[in-house]
Amino acid sequence: MIAFSHYLSGRVNVLYTFADEILENLDHGFSSKRINVSHVERAESLMWLWLLGAYEVVRTMHQAKQCFSCRLVQDLTDLKKTLASVRMPAAKMEKRGKNVPVTSNRSPSGWCVKDRDVLVNDPEENDVSARWILSEFHRVFSSITKADVLGHHEQTYESQA
């Protein structure tokens, strides 16, 4: 990531730190037969911020797709779509691509006690696991190699001038 942008690399590190804290809170929140509500609420709150940040990082990289390999661009495209589908209801309280409100038929996150997880999507859509989306982000970003980075972020703007 540093070969693309020192700044963005730092933002990715922040997202990884948030992800670690989210998972730790989910583990502690659902660790026994008794739910520790404060840990689950903390995980959900951090997940909301993580989603906003992760979407912006991926959007920035996708916008500069000429700086990345075809393989990575495809992974970023898929991840951007996934993040967008859960970001819109959380950030704007609207259904993605529509000027229609997200209903309040459940709390901001659904709790899945069996999987020790929270759900982070529009309550009327298919469930999206916080643990799964964190793992997808990790899968894509941990797969990035030096060969995937073809240019620096500033080059994106030079080609537009």
Percentage with pLDDT > 90 across the chain: 66
The residue among 33 and 4 whose pLDDT is bigger is 4
Q: What is the reported pLDDT for 135?
A: 98
In a domain, 1, yes or no: no
In a domain, 15, yes or no: yes
Q: What is the mean pLDDT of the chain?
A: 89
Total domain count for the chain? 1
CA angle centred on 112, ends 107 and 117, rounded to 5°: 95
Domain with 60, as residue range(s), is 6-155
- Mean pLDDT confidence for 81-87: 90
Q: Whole-model pTM? A: 0.89
In a domain, 161, yes or no: no
pLDDT band per the 50, 70, 90 thresholds, residue 120: confident
Contact at 8 Å (CB) between 60 and 8? yes
- Phi and psi at residue 110, to the nearest 5°: -85, 145
